[in-house]
């Protein structure tokens, strides 16, 4: 079962001009050259390996860290490895204004926490109120959070009841077993 309150250091995925990177597709998250890899730990080494400016992400991220991205994160194919690589690195949460629909569903099913914040995420990143290295504390159930580094509160969309139930169970299959018992 995953925690419903997360505290972690953030990685704000920005481009060379300091703007949130939008429309990061599953090939940028996990390159198709590595689709043959089935070992979860090895998958983690390739996370964001095809995203300009972030190719060394997997060597810097630590368990419990939080990823912040621009709108439509996980666009493109239904590549499960694009979720699994973050699970392998023990990323605690991904925050974006919006997610690709298939990516969102794959992450929920795999118990990788995602929170949306249309408007909020972009505004905080643009105003430099969220910077890589800041520490956030977020209640997944309410979407309420605080940037502990800058002592500023914020509000994201809370998780849906189904998303919370699947997360608490440890994934869709565990949730399915729980509801038929």
pTM beyond 0.85, yes or no: yes
Q: Number of structural domains, the chain?
A: 1
pLDDT, tens digit, 9 for 90 and up, residues 98-151: 999 999 999 999 999 999 999 899 899 888 999 999 999 999 999 999 999 999
Q: What residues make up the domain containing 164?
A: 5-180
* Predicted pLDDT of residue 77: 85
- Three-state SS string over the chain comes to CCCCEEEEEEEECECCCCCECCCCEHHHHCCHHHCCCCCHHHHHCCCCCCCCCCCCHHHHCCCCCEEECCCCECECCCCCHHHHHHHHCCCCEEEECCECHHHHHHHHHCCCCEEECCCHHHHHHHCCCCCCCCEEEEECCCCEEEECCCCEEEECCCCCHHHHHHHHHCCHHHHHHHHHC
CATH for 160: 3.20.19.10
């Amino acid at each position: 079962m995953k925690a419903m309150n997360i505290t972690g250091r953030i990685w704000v995925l920005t481009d060379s001009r300091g703007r949130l990177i939008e429309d990061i597709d599953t090939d940028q998250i996990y390159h198709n050259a590595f689709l043959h890899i089935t070992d979860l730990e090895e998958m983690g080494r390739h996370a964001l390996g095809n995203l300009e400016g972030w190719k060394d992400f997997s060597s810097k991220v630590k368990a419990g860290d939080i990823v912040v991205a621009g709108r439509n994160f996980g666009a493109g194919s239904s590549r499960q490895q694009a979720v699994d690589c973050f699970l392998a690195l023990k990323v605690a949460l991904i925050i974006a204004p919006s997610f690709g629909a298939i990516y969102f569903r794959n992450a929920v099913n795999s118990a990788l926490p995602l929170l949306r914040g249309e408007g909020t995420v972009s505004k905080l990143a643009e105003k430099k109120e969220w910077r890589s290295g800041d520490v956030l504390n977020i209640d997944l159930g309410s979407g309420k959070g605080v940037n502990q580094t800058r002592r500023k509160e914020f509000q994201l969309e809370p998780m849906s009841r189904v998303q919370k139930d699947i997360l608490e169970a440890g994934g869709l299959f565990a949730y399915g077993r729980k509801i038929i018992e």
